[in-house]
Chains A and B, each alone.
Chain A
Amino acid sequence: MAKSLDLELAAVTKKYGTTVAVEAISHRFQAGSYSCLLGPSGCGKSSTLRMIAGHEVVSEGDILLGASNVTDLPPARRGTAMMFQSYALFPHLSVIDNVAFSQKMKGVDKSSRLKKARELLELVDMAAFAARLPEQLSGGQQQRVALARALITEPSVLLLDEPLSALDPFLRIKMRLELKRLQRELDISFIHVTHSQDEALALADDIIVMNNGRIEQAGSPRDVFESPATEFVARFIGGHNILESRGAPFALRTDRLQVAKTGAESGDSLAATVRDVEYLGATVNLALETGAGSDLTAALPDGLFFQDPIEIGSTVFLSWKPEDAHHLAG
């Protein structure tokens, strides 16, 4: 496999006519890291990935891979490979021919390209299916083939466009582990686009949260989850309440909210009405409505909740430790 290289975006911009899809984003993807571009649909994450892949022309800015500027190179000459959202396997070619496709395009002779394709199929544990057509495979199997097809080009960066979105939830978790394992074994960079915060938290070394064509926050999953920089990040990453104190918003994790049946409303305590109770197994979520009309969620450990269950419609008093409140920018 090829050596992994740093990938750097320098003020990369994508415009479609007058609309700006990606606005001057800069970021360095460390060699050999697993990065997730996370954001809602239309936030520019897919455009960013497609620009890195070379399937979208960069309007302004540069993309550097290692020491070379790849901004205007065709996809196959950049050292990147892309795994498409719907896998885009060639329906008329067998699994092994799909994997060997790029080698065939390069003019590699049949026996050596099939040999190499077989090695890649073994890597993703699909060698037994070499002669099948894509339509005869399950979603997870198709994904492995797509992975093998992308990896045969020996990329330094593998780009994955919502790779798990076409799978059912159970398989998604299984494939997610496998992607991470493969990335560790190959020691190349993976850049993974997703709109699922669970996926990003579970997989990434580096999460880049995007919104409206800009990077809202980039950092390790713990950084992003424990100290979200903006209100958008706090809301999108989930598990946070947004409250306001003296005109400035702050984020508070739902599991750090302390709920008491008795108490008094003071500076650091709020009265709220319980609107709903959701039992989720390990935790119980309370949907709360405060006097100010804002909706909050409190996640209580199930043990604590069932010691003294709280009824829907009752009034509770909320408090938290000052160190759990994270102030947000704008």
Chain B
Amino acid sequence: MTDLTVSNDTDRKEETRLQPGVSAKVRKPVSDAVSGWLMSLPMAGVLVFFLVLPIIMIVVVSFWGATEFSIYPAFVFDNYEFLLTSPVTYSVFLNTVKYALITWALTLGIGFTIAYFLAFHVRSLTWQIVLFLLCTIPFWTSNIIRMISWIPFLGRNGIANSALISLGVVDEPLDWLLFSDFSVILAFVHLYTLFMVVPIFNTMMRIDRSLIEAAYDAGASGFQTLTNVVLPLTKPGIMIGSIFVITLVMGDFITVRFMSGSQKANVGRLISNDIALLQYPSAAATAVILLITVLIVIATLLRFVDIRKEL
């Protein structure tokens, strides 16, 4: 009997569930709990190996020591001390948060409008699907290509400037179009608006159309329906989209590097520069601080809305 503990256990559970005198005809060899764990094992394994272990590794390395030409295992706080006392860190983090906030606000405004149009103004499902797919077309090319294609457009002698000059809007080329905060944020908005559109559109499609009619029946104007019914019911989608956009922007380094012509910095670039200089412990410490920052932002967002309702 001792080697059959698992099935024994199962039997006892079965018996308590059944009426006395009725015995289970089919004996399950493995309990639900055990099979559940077994089934989640492959995914859990992948996550442990490719997510948890690397993060542990980064945390460990962030306490290592480094000189100009070597790194050595240790448990020192030098990296964090340097990071947290340097004014550069704060200005770079501030810049990262600034990019994230402005991009978030713009993608939210644009994304909500697109999703609202698709969900409530396009009546036929066919057109909804066609227009939705149209939104995804930019995703058929890579990030980098989409980013780089802005450069000839926004450059000093680019299409935008020549068009503005020939229209007589400006007399001389605008310098701030490229290699500026403007171009960085423009690229971010271009790259990430769809991440806002998809979850918001998804939530909006689940709103019962009779609610809109009920609001109309109760005398609500279009704008009142938007603010009193559609917006509150779309909150979970807005939150999911916000998490996507904020984490993507805060973790980005390549967009900032290309679109600012290496003139602007965010945390991602700080890390990538450290890595280029083989300063792994310092890069790891910055990464840990960034991870904590992003987690705090997400935790704050989740306090506002229960996104579990969406899943």
Contacts and interface: CB of A to CB of B under 8 A. Distances in A.
B218 A105 contact: yes
B35 to A, nearest CB: 32
Contacts of A153: 218-219
Given A88-B211, A90-B211, A76 B217 contact: yes
A170 B232 CA distance: 35
Nearest to B232: A92
Contacts of A53: 217
A292 to B, nearest CB: 48
B229 A88 contact: no
A74 B216 contact: yes
Given A90-B229, A92-B233, A104-B228, A84 B219 contact: no
B224 interface: yes
A77 B221 CA distance: 12
A76 B219 contact: yes
Contacts of A89: 214
A85 B219 contact: no
Contacts of A77: 219
A11 B240 CA distance: 51
A147 interface: no
Contacts of A86: 208, 210
Nearest to A75: B217
B227 to A, nearest CB: 11
A192 B218 CA distance: 19
A88 B208 contact: yes
Q: Which of B219, B224, B232, B233 has the most CB of A within 10 A?
A: B219
Nearest to A150: B217
Majority secondary structure, B binding face:
helix
B274 to A, nearest CB: 46
Given A90-B229, A91-B233, A104-B228, A76 B210 contact: no
B213 interface: yes
Given A105-B220, A106-B219, A153-B219, A84 B214 contact: yes
Interface string A281-315: 00000000000000000000000000000000000
Interface in B209-261: 210-211, 213-221, 224, 228-229, 232-233
Interface in A26-80: 53-55, 74-77
Interface residues of A, number: 25
A236 B193 CA distance: 55
Contacts of A76: 216-219
Given A90-B229, A92-B232, A102 B210 contact: no
B233 A84 contact: no
Nearest to A92: B232
A86 B207 CA distance: 13
B210 A81 contact: no
A190 interface: no
Contacts of A84: 210, 213-214
B217 A55 contact: yes
A88 B218 CA distance: 12
B108 to A, nearest CB: 19
A314 B232 CA distance: 67
A55 B218 CA distance: 12
Contact of A75 (B208, B216, B228, B233): B216
Nearest to B211: A88
Contacts of A149: 214, 218
Nearest to B229: A90
A101 B215 CA distance: 8
Nearest to A55: B213
Interface string A143-175: 000000110010000000000000000000000
Q: Which of A86, A91, A153 has the most CB of B within 10 A?
A: A91
Contacts of A54: 217
Contacts of A209: none
Contacts of B232: 92
B242 to A, nearest CB: 18
Given A84-B210, A88-B211, A105-B224, A55 B216 contact: yes
A100 to B, nearest CB: 10
A55 B219 CA distance: 12
A86 B214 CA distance: 11
A82 interface: yes
Interface string A86-125: 1011111000000001101110000000000000000000
Nearest to B216: A75
A84 B216 CA distance: 12
A105 B219 CA distance: 6
Nearest to A77: B219
B233 A102 contact: no
A88 B214 contact: yes
Contacts of B221: 105
Contact of A90 (B214, B216, B219): B214
A82 B217 contact: yes
22 contacts: A54-B217, A75-B216, A75-B217, A75-B219, A81-B217, A82-B213, A82-B214, A88-B208, A88-B210, A89-B214, A90-B211, A90-B215, A91-B233, A101-B215, A101-B228, A102-B219, A102-B220, A105-B220, A105-B228, A149-B218, A150-B217, A153-B219
Interface of A: 53-55, 74-77, 81-82, 84-86, 88-92, 101-102, 104-106, 149-150, 153
5 A-B pairs with the lowest CB-CB distances in the bound complex, closest first: A76-B219, A102-B218, A88-B214, A88-B210, A105-B220
Given A105-B221, A149-B214, 10 more contacts: A55-B213, A55-B216, A76-B218, A82-B217, A90-B214, A91-B233, A101-B220, A102-B219, A105-B215, A153-B218
